[in-house]
């Protein structure tokens, strides 16, 4: 009998769309699959403390646990939500071709850009908040959480001028409004717009199947961005953006670190040959750390610990 690949996914509309895409690709290659939607409650218990297994990401934790318990074979994630260090035993098995990378502002008219009055923009992301405040220091930025659908509803219900989203997410579930503002000046999150599929490192069958879904260019670009993030953050969340773009034989990289209030910014922009990208992301991060980044990261760590 053929082994059926159990595909674990969160149950938001975007997560299901992404898992369906992986399912269709595997099926068209001749693999048998089944979707296993799992509520992302994060409160399931294993016989070992989570930190011992290296389980951290709030979006990925539930699926990691299901996989370690043997309830699913593979899991599909938005790659930008995946912590840079994977839990023991779980490996990156495929990265799918990237969607558009940029952030967008969903708004109710752009007259606020000329207004002197109170402007309120909503986002739950430190990175987006810092970059917005750097450009518009007099605006208010308020917190906005929940999945994409919830956040769109909250924007409609509240008296805000706009909210920031990843264009890829809204495009995928066909909720991208006609007149959004592309924020091309905003540096996206590392791996934004890409999907990662993980599997158990000893599961040869799934690893072989998933290798056929891997998109090499996206894998290279996201590896650079995540190396940059891993070296810079050291396990703490900070306003960090990174984008590697490949044009034939060249990679163009831009990385930024902001203070939480957006007033300070350290950035790096570099080109490198496509065949020389080994350690490139972490080299760029080390340069930021040497240019005042160590001090800025210390400050962010202190402010984060007084907030929580
Ligand atoms: N943090 C939530 C999240 N994770 C992935 C996406 C969108 C898809 C992507 O960026 O790959 C989103 C929503 C958003 O940022 O607006």
Q: What is the pLDDT of residues 142-151, one digit of tens each?
A: 999 888 999 9
Domain 4-96+194-214 has CATH 3.40.190.10: yes
- Which segments of the chain belong to CATH 3.30.160.40? 230-307
185 with 262: CB under 8 angstroms?
no
Measure 76 CA to ligand 1 centroid, in angstroms. Answer: 13
CATH architecture of 103-183: 3-Layer(aba) Sandwich (3.40)
Span 200-208, mean pLDDT? 98
If you measure from the C-alpha of residue 77 to the centroid of ligand 1, how many angstroms do you get, rounded to a whole number? 10
Query: Among residues of the chain, what percentage have pLDDT more than 70?
Result: 93
Q: Does residue 190 line the site of ligand 1, with CB under 6 A? A: no
Q: Is 64 annotated as catalytic?
A: no
Question: For a pocket test of ligand 1, which of 9, 12, 13, 14 has the largest count of ligand atoms closer than 8 A to its C-beta?
Answer: 14
CA neighbours closer than 13 Å in the CB half-sphere of residue 302 = 7
Contacts of 141 (CB under 8 A, 6+ apart): 120, 121, 122, 123, 129, 132, 133
User: Which residue spans of the chain are classified as CATH 3.40.190.10?
Assistant: 4-96+194-214, 103-183
Q: Is the pTM of this model over 0.90?
A: yes
Q: Write out pLDDT tens, residues 222-253.
A: 999 999 999 998 767 899 999 999 999 999 99
CATH number assigned to the domain with residue range 230-307, chosen from the 4 options 3.50.30.50, 3.30.1600.10, 3.30.160.40, 3.30.470.20? 3.30.160.40
ipTM comes to: 0.96
Instruction: Measure Cα distances from 39 to 57, 245, 267 in Å.
Output: 15, 34, 38
Average pLDDT value over all residues in the chain:
93
* Active-site annotation holder among 11, 47, 81, 203: 81
Q: How far apart are CA 165 and CA 287, in angstroms?
A: 29
148 lines ligand 1 (CB under 6 A): yes
């Amino acid at each position: 009998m053929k082994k059926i690949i159990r595909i674990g996914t969160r149950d938001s509309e975007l997560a299901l769309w992404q898992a369906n895409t992986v399912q269709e690709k595997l099926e068209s290659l001749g693999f048998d699959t089944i979707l296993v939607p799992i509520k992302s409650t994060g409160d399931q218990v294993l016989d070992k403390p989570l930190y011992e297994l290296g389980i951290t990401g709030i979006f990925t934790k539930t699926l990691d646990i299901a996989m370690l318990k043997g309830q699913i074979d593979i899991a599909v994630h938005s790659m930008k939500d995946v912590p840079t260090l994977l839990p023991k035993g779980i490996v990156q098995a495929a990265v799918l071709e990237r969607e558009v990378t940029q952030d967008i502002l969903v708004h109710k008219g752009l007259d606020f850009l000329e207004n002197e009055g109170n402007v309120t923009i909503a986002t739950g992301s430190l990175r987006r908040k810092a970059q917005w405040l750097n450009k518009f220091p007099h605006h208010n930025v308020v917190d906005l959480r929940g999945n994409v659908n919830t956040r769109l509803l909250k924007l409609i219900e509240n008296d805000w001028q706009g909210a920031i989203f990843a264009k890829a997410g809204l495009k995928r579930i066909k909720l991208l409004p006609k007149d959004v503002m592309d924020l091309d000046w905003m540096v996206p999150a590392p791996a934004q717009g890409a999907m990662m599929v993980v599997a158990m490192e000893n599961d040869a069958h799934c690893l072989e199947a998933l290798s056929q879904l891997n998109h090499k260019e996206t894998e290279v670009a996201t590896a650079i961005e995540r190396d940059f993030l891993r070296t810079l953050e050291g396990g703490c969340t900070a306003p960090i953006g990174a984008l590697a773009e490949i044009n034939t034989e060249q990679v163009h990289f831009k990385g930024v670190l902001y203070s939480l209030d957006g007033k300070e910014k350290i950035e790096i922009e570099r080109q490198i040959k496509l065949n020389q990208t080994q350690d490139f992301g972490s080299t760029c991060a080390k340069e930021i750390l040497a240019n005042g980044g160590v001090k800025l990261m210390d400050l962010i760590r202190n402010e984060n610990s007084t907030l929580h």
